[in-house]
Amino acid sequence: MAKISLERLAKNAERALVLGIGGGGDVLGTFPTGRYLELLGVEVILGGVGWERIVYDPKPGPRSLEEVIDVERISETTGLANSDTRTNYGVVFQCSNMARFLGKKTLLVDITKGVRGVVRGLRETVRHMDIDFIIGVDVGGDVLAQGGEAGLRSPLADAMMLAALHQVDVPTITAVFAPSCDGELTTEEILERISRISERGGYLGARGLTYEDVEAMNEALKYVKTEASMLPLLAWRGKRGIIEIRGGERKVNLSILSTLTFYLDTDVVYSLGSLAKKVADTESLDEANEKLHEVNITTEYDYELQYATKK
């Protein structure tokens, strides 16, 4: 059976990182977990991967910290973002928008130096900021992908961050917020994966959105741009059925399940995560991308490169 839980970690902790592991608007998906931990008496630093959707950032791929201005560097791959943190060509990160909303800094993670670079950065951040544990939040649930799912479109960032969370020196939890709301894995695929994780003792419980969560997230949406992380708020109000996102390219089967965050033991998720294992020892984004090509996976980076070429 599971040996850890949010409550047990929080009982002996002072400070935690809650990171959106898919980039962009995933930082909003960290909000319900962050609020809950604060209610348990833990100081929380929210953050996420510095990778904006190409509709916001015309340059394909995630940004390195060398491309970022007005950021407080902690390590080669982590830095604290404020409301003015942006690329050197003017693109503002969703982590910056979240910092503006919160009135405090968020953590920006650079994945361009591969999983090993992320691990080095997170380890240094843990030491520098006295972090007791980390929760990585994926909006939608493609962190649970095995590679053969018909709807899979953006496995790279999640696989890299899962592999990194598996290697850091503090306890970590992998969370799935709003299952299927990114229009990639189906609800059935995600629930099947969570059941397999549960068979191995890795299911740590779930939490639904509260009125206070929804109220605060609605305010945050005045700052943070996101589609997938917004849908749970509609589900909370009872909206259900098929919703189109990404300009009609993807369809989401919205339901009350979309309001849940599932908490999972990172080590168990990793043990079942063939994509994370493929990229675990990489030293660059391109190397990680090529590792997924070896198993015939097309990534979000590939789609962005294709999109930029067409433009």
Tens-place pLDDT, residues 131-146: 999 999 999 999 999 9
pLDDT at position 247 is 73
Residue type, position 150, single letter: A
Helix (H) or strand (E) holding 128: helix 114-129
Residue 140, in any domain of the structure = yes
Q: How many structural domains are present in the chain?
A: 1
Residue 169, in any domain of the structure = yes
Residue 1, in any domain of the structure = no
Residue 139, in any domain of the structure = yes
Residue 231, in any domain of the structure = yes
Provide CB contacts within 8 A for 32, sequence distance 6+: 177, 207, 209, 210, 213, 217, 261
Low-confidence ranges of the chain (pLDDT < 50): none
pLDDT tens profile 159-202: 999 999 999 999 999 999 999 998 889 999 999 999 999 999 99
Q: State phi, psi for 308 to the nearest 5 degrees.
A: -65, -35
pLDDT tens profile 97-116: 999 999 999 999 999 999 99
Crossing angle of helices 114-129/285-293, nearest 10°?
A: 130
Residue 172, in any domain of the structure = yes
Q: State phi, psi for 152 to the nearest 5 degrees.
A: -65, 125
Q: Please report, for the domain that includes residue 31, its CATH number.
A: 3.40.50
pTM: 0.96
CB 252 within 8 A of CB 242: yes
pLDDT at position 311 is 64
Domain residues for the domain of 125 are 6-310
CB 112 within 8 A of CB 78: no
Residue 273, in any domain of the structure = yes
**C-alpha neighbours within 13 Å on the C-beta side of residue 59:** 12
Residue 101, in any domain of the structure = yes
Cα angle, residue 134 at apex, residues 115 and 16 outer, rounded to 5°: 140
b or e along 220-235 (b: 16 or more beta carbons within 10 Å of the residue's beta carbon)? bbebbbbbbbbbbbbb
